[in-house]
Structure 1
Amino acid sequence: MATTTRPNERGFTLLEILVVIAILGLLIGLVAPAALRQLGGARISVAKQSIERIGTVLDMYKLDVGTYPSTEQGLQALVERPTGVSAWNGPYMKGGVPVDPWNKPYTYRDPSTRSGHEYDLCSAGPPDSSSAQQPICNQ
């Protein structure tokens, strides 16, 4: 039995489908890089805000204990009582020691290596192939 096409049947030609796919590919190629740049900027903003929040928690720790945690005690002192500390009123943070938006631990150092700061609290920032990557630190 032979099949015949009817003149009133409608459909898309292969050329029309290829044109639509090409247009979609161009749109994705133009929009995706901009969206990824926005995501990277948002993570940096979250890291800065997290550093400020942890800094506030460190200030609460200092009010209770009298000093900031040592480098050896680190941020773990905000979650578990360090040995030899009697005035600890924690835990100061729930859920354990926080990590930065790239799932790396924050770097904490007391005393600070920067002038005008009591301690250093930094995120290494986004993983980048450039060697000029600057860490995101407390102000």
Structure 2
Amino acid sequence: MMKQPKKNNGFTLLELLVVLGIIAMLAGIVGPQVMKHMGASKTKAAKVQIEGLASSLDMYKLDVGRYPSTEQGLNALIEKPSDVERWNGPYLRKSKVPVDPWQQPYQYKFPGEHGNFDLFSLGADQKDGGEGEDQDVVSWL
């Protein structure tokens, strides 16, 4: 009788450890790069949202004759303020005012220090100034 060669049906522990080591090394190299781009994309998303909100504020002004007060805030874009007569809203497609990509409300001031109104997000750190993902995203630049 001839012996049949033994079939290899699986991986050895050593082979699995080598593959896991390679995957961990790649994750260590690629992971920080992905996170850096994710922070930049949040900043870009905030810029786009601010531009959209600024356009909605301009439409509000065309109808009402002035921008909402600081007290009325961005809610005036979705709910008619009690002291406004020619409101023709809602001026946003959604029933809620969007929050910034860091899940914080956008800051709104009227009259603005840098233009007709100031609309901004404080970035990831929620403090004035900053670099990278911590930088403020503003409507006036």
- The gaps in structure 1 that reach 5 residues or longer are 1-5
Partner in structure 1 of residue 44 of structure 2: 45
Alignment-mate amino acid for residue 29 of structure 1: G
Partner in structure 2 of residue 109 of structure 1: 109
Measured against aligned partners, the alpha-carbon deviations of 1:43-85 in whole angstroms (never above 9, x if no partner) come to 1101000000100000000000111001011001101111211
Distance 1:31 1:45 in 2: 21
Partner in structure 2 of residue 122 of structure 1: 120
Q: TM-score, normalised to structure 2's length?
A: 0.85
The runs of 4+ residues in structure 1 deviating greater than 3 Å are 131-134
Distance 2:17 2:98 in 1: 48
Distance 2:123 2:107 in 1: 11
Distance 1:70 1:122 in 2: 15
- The gaps in structure 2 that reach 5 residues or longer are none
Asked if 1:76 corresponds to 2:50, the answer is: no
Aligned to 2:104, the other structure's residue is in SS state coil
Aligned to 1:121, the other structure's residue is in SS state strand
Distance 2:84 2:16 in 1: 71
**Displacement of 1:7 after TM fit?**
5.1
**8 Å contact from structure 2 (residues 68, 74) kept in 1:** yes
Q: TM-score, normalised to structure 1's length?
A: 0.86
Alignment coverage as a number of residue pairs = 131
**Displacement of 1:128 after TM fit?**
7.2
Partner in structure 1 of residue 139 of structure 2: 138
**8 Å contact from structure 2 (residues 124, 135) kept in 1:** no
- RMSD over aligned CA atoms reads 1.9
Partner in structure 1 of residue 14 of structure 2: 15
Distance 1:128 1:62 in 2: 29
Distance 2:30 2:52 in 1: 33
Aligned to 1:108, the other structure's residue is in SS state strand
Closer, same or farther: CA 128–104 of 1 in aligned 2, 3 Å: closer
Partner in structure 2 of residue 3 of structure 1: none
